[in-house]
Structure 1
Amino acid sequence: MMKKVLFAATVLLATLAACNGNNNAGANNAGDTNSNGNAAPPVIQYAVVNKYPHDTSYFTEGLEFNKGQLFESSGGNADESPYPSEFGIADLKTGKVTPKVKLDKTKYFGEGITFFGDKMYHLTWTSHVGFIYDANTFKLIREFRIPAQEGWGLTHDSTHLIMSDGTSNLYFLTPDSVKLAYITRVTDNNGPVSNINELEYVNGFIYANQWETNYILKIDAETGNVVGKINLENLQKEANSLRPGADVLNGIAYNKETGQLLVTGKRWPFIYEIKVQ
């Protein structure tokens, strides 16, 4: 899709390139080691406990619970994409999304979303800006500058917003000013891990879709180390068999009140509730 073409052509800022080093999107199987003897992250087992319908018109970029409601964002542009560039409330009974904010597709390709306090934050892909809304009314409060070449995934811990840009970097931002506090690099036994996409913070760990793979990575939020991998290849195969044109795995949402963990993909026919070990 569009992201594949432009991502390959994007030249990262020199400071970010220096931070990234030589990224490696691939990873060894669990139990493998590199030349230094470091073990690969183990494969985390999971079980599907429920399936819900999903809006296949949505090119999913973000998925997040807020006050018991599931929110989803989609990305698209006017020239190349039929998909909406918006976010709204997803109904797990019908799969349909009720839009709350629609972006101008001639300007903005919508990306990740997250709620922090009484505000909702929304990234755009290559426009270098994000938006802050009132979390109750969805009235625009202001724009902010994204501290990277691109905006991809977004989540938060108790003190910071956490953003990805498709590299191995995780950007920790102050919620009020939306300024860069620090950068953590995602690494495994082979070094930096690139293509970090949609994010979800769960009890001290960051779960991240790795773009163009079937993996969700479990990342230690303090160190950036990948401590485990969930292989959702079977869900990807089912999505492809049931919905020709289903795209990559993308979308993780955790309901901290219930412990419910949801995953989906771009134009997938289902949102899956999974239980991990």
Structure 2
Amino acid sequence: MKKLSIITSLIILLFTSCDDTYKLKLRVENKTTLDKNITINLEEENNKPLDKVQFFIDGKEVAANGNSLEINTADFGLGKHQVSALVFIPGKTKKVNNSFEVYANIEPTIYGYEIINTYPHDKKAYTQGLEYYNGFLYETTGRRGQSSLRKVEIKSGKVLQKIDLDKKYFGEGMTIVGDKIIWLTWQNDKGFVYDLNSFDQIGEFKYNQSKEGWGLTQNETELIKSDGTNKIWFLDKSTQAEKRALQTYTHDRALSQLNELELINGKIYANYYQKPIIAIINPANGVVEGLINLKGLEAEMKKSQKLVEDDEVLNGIAYDAKNDRLFVTGKNWGNLFEIKLIKK
């Protein structure tokens, strides 16, 4: 019996020693670009036999050919993606992890601007959302105790209609859908629905996976929402339920802190919070196709108005499609600018 125990112990020790000689590595190109084919390889450095390998990307199994997997990055989109290999070796399984990050495959076009018109804007309006509709601007402002929804006359800057948000909420971006106004809040995990004409609240909705509420616009079928990260969320227009998201990247970085949004000629225009830049984003894949440099506008406001607060920054984009007019402003800025973009 004692000999049998010794033999059993030796067998276990031998098996364990053999198992410990497995040196597994999951090799993948960690930084790559959209539409590029890349290969993911599972390697055993000591050429030990492997029974089977299963590959997973972002938790979903992907069909492979033995120990190797070839993918096109367009199938997974921009951003960081987790790769795992479940390796079956004699007597047990092991899991090996790695990741890859997909960047845009083009550099953004740079734009400057020309000022076409300058209009007055309420210096006490901490602009969060801005939209042109039927000859007027609709604007939402932020900060707790100061958040409001407004209808504004463009030429005079006069506030024609206004309601205040409950002081426990910090108002954010908005958009107009039919006869309704959809208005986000910042960190309260909810948005509100208002009647366009009366400004009466007629509904509310909860966020789901998105981190916060920042900017809001729309295409023909969906709401488009930013949450302060580099993600763009697409929501059901009727229920405001989140459906999907994509990540926003240039050729060399993730573009985070996306704020107020406007859809212009099929592209998403997004304020880059605390930078005098508007990004032009392809809504199909998140690629930043253009960057609008509005540093001169910010400098002009700091000089003429003597802005002192760090958060009194460029924010607010509105577009009059019928007359091809682009309006921009900022938080507590005394001016609303109509500008024309100039390609550099």
Structure 1 length normalisation: TM-score?
A: 0.82
- 2: CA distance between counterparts of 1:53 and 1:69? 14
- The yes-or-no answer on 1:68 pairing with 2:135 is yes
Cα 1:233–1:134, aligned 2, differ >3 Å: closer, same or farther?
Answer: same
- The yes-or-no answer on 1:272 pairing with 2:334 is no
Instruction: Find the counterpart in structure 2 of residue 25 from structure 1.
Output: none
Cα 1:193–1:37, aligned 2, differ >3 Å: closer, same or farther?
Answer: closer
- 2: CA distance between counterparts of 1:250 and 1:275? 17
- 2: CA distance between counterparts of 1:260 and 1:205? 15
The higher-RCO structure (CA 8 Å, 6+ apart) is: 1
- 2: CA distance between counterparts of 1:149 and 1:37? 23
Aligned ranges for residues 233-272 of structure 1 at < 5 Å?
233-245=295-307, 247-272=312-337
- 2: CA distance between counterparts of 1:176 and 1:37? 32
| Count of residue pairs the alignment pairs up | 241
- 2: CA distance between counterparts of 1:142 and 1:179? 13
Instruction: Find the counterpart in structure 1 of residue 149 from structure 2.
Output: 87
- 1: CA distance between counterparts of 2:203 and 2:294? 37
Q: Give me the CA root mean square deviation.
A: 2.0
Aligned AA (2:211): Q
When Rg is computed on C-alpha atoms for both structures, the one with the higher figure is 2
How many Å apart are 1:203 and its aligned residue?
1.1
* C-alpha contact 2:211 2:228 (8 A) present in aligned 1: no
- The yes-or-no answer on 1:122 pairing with 2:183 is yes
Instruction: Find the counterpart in structure 2 of residue 221 from structure 1.
Output: 283
Structure 2 length normalisation: TM-score?
A: 0.67
Instruction: Find the counterpart in structure 2 of residue 98 from structure 1.
Output: 160
Cα 1:77–1:207, aligned 2, differ >3 Å: closer, same or farther?
Answer: same
Aligned ranges for residues 36-185 of structure 1 at < 5 Å?
39-78=106-145, 84-105=146-167, 107-147=168-208, 148-185=210-247
Instruction: Find the counterpart in structure 2 of residue 32 from structure 1.
Output: none
* C-alpha contact 1:152 1:163 (8 A) present in aligned 2: yes
Cα 1:99–1:21, aligned 2, differ >3 Å: closer, same or farther?
Answer: farther
- 2: CA distance between counterparts of 1:120 and 1:37? 34
> Which has the larger share of strand?
2
How many Å apart are 1:100 and its aligned residue?
2.9
* C-alpha contact 1:132 1:141 (8 A) present in aligned 2: yes
Aligned AA (2:180): K
- 2: CA distance between counterparts of 1:120 and 1:272? 24
Cα 1:180–1:207, aligned 2, differ >3 Å: closer, same or farther?
Answer: same
Instruction: Find the counterpart in structure 1 of residue 72 from structure 2.
Output: none
How many Å apart are 1:119 and its aligned residue?
1.4
Aligned AA (2:324): G
- 1: CA distance between counterparts of 2:79 and 2:315? 22
* C-alpha contact 2:104 2:249 (8 A) present in aligned 1: no
- 1: CA distance between counterparts of 2:273 and 2:318? 17
* C-alpha contact 2:104 2:252 (8 A) present in aligned 1: no
How many Å apart are 1:146 and its aligned residue?
2.1
Instruction: Find the counterpart in structure 2 of residue 3 from structure 1.
Output: none
Aligned AA (2:170): F
Aligned AA (2:214): W
Percent identity of equivalent pairs: 41
* C-alpha contact 1:20 1:167 (8 A) present in aligned 2: no
Cα 1:171–1:199, aligned 2, differ >3 Å: closer, same or farther?
Answer: same
How many Å apart are 1:239 and its aligned residue?
0.5
Structure 1: 5+ residue runs without aligned partners? 1-14, 23-35, 79-83
